[in-house]
């Protein structure tokens, strides 16, 4: 927001504005990987898994459902996160200490075990 600028009808007003360059420190990072069935040779993906990301020390969450053979990708601000993966018929997985760095991709492939009925 720039204040104190006067515009007069019929006259040209020149204004110099300094812009800050976007640096790697302000660029988001990416969390990407695959949610798959534990114990399968080809890491068979789990369609419809829900990936929820909670920023450490904050109540901010980001979540999404992924239907593409268990593959997921989320753009996130740099920080430390806890990642929770849920899928119908599978044990919920929670991973703490996931670090997202500015301008980089953090790969996180997650094996899931099928739930057992007792």
Q: What is the pLDDT of residues 50-79, one digit of tens each?
A: 899 988 777 667 767 666 788 999 999 999
Q: What is the pLDDT of residues 15-30, one digit of tens each?
A: 787 776 665 557 899 9
Q: 1 in a domain, yes or no?
A: no
Which residue shows structure tokens 């990072």? 29
Report how many domains make up the chain: 1
Q: What is the pTM of this model?
A: 0.72
Domain ranges, residue 77: 25-110
Structure tokens at 49: 């898994």
DSSP sequence for 40-78: -TT--B-TTEEEEEEETTS--EEEEEE-STTEEEEEE-S
The enclosing domain of 69 has a CATH number of 2.60.40.1120
Q: 9 in a domain, yes or no?
A: no
Identify the burial level of 49 via C-beta atoms within 10 angstroms of its C-beta, where 0-12 means exposed, 13-18 middle and 19 or more buried.
buried
Query: Taking a C-beta distance cutoff of 8 angstroms, is the pair 35, 86 a contact?
Result: no
């Amino acid at each position: 927001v720039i204040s104190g600028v006067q515009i007069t009808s019929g006259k040209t007003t020149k204004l110099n504005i300094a812009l800050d360059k976007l640096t790697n420190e302000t660029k988001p990072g990416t969390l990407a990987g695959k949610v798959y069935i534990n114990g399968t040779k080809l890491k068979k993906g789990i369609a419809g898994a829900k990936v929820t990301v909670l920023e450490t020390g904050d109540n901010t969450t980001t979540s999404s459902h992924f239907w593409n053979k268990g593959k997921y990708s989320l753009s996130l601000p740099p920080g430390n996160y806890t990642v929770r993966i849920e899928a119908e018929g599978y044990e919920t997985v929670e991973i703490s200490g996931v670090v997202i760095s500015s301008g980089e991709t953090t790969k996180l492939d997650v094996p899931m075990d099928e739930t057992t009925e007792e």
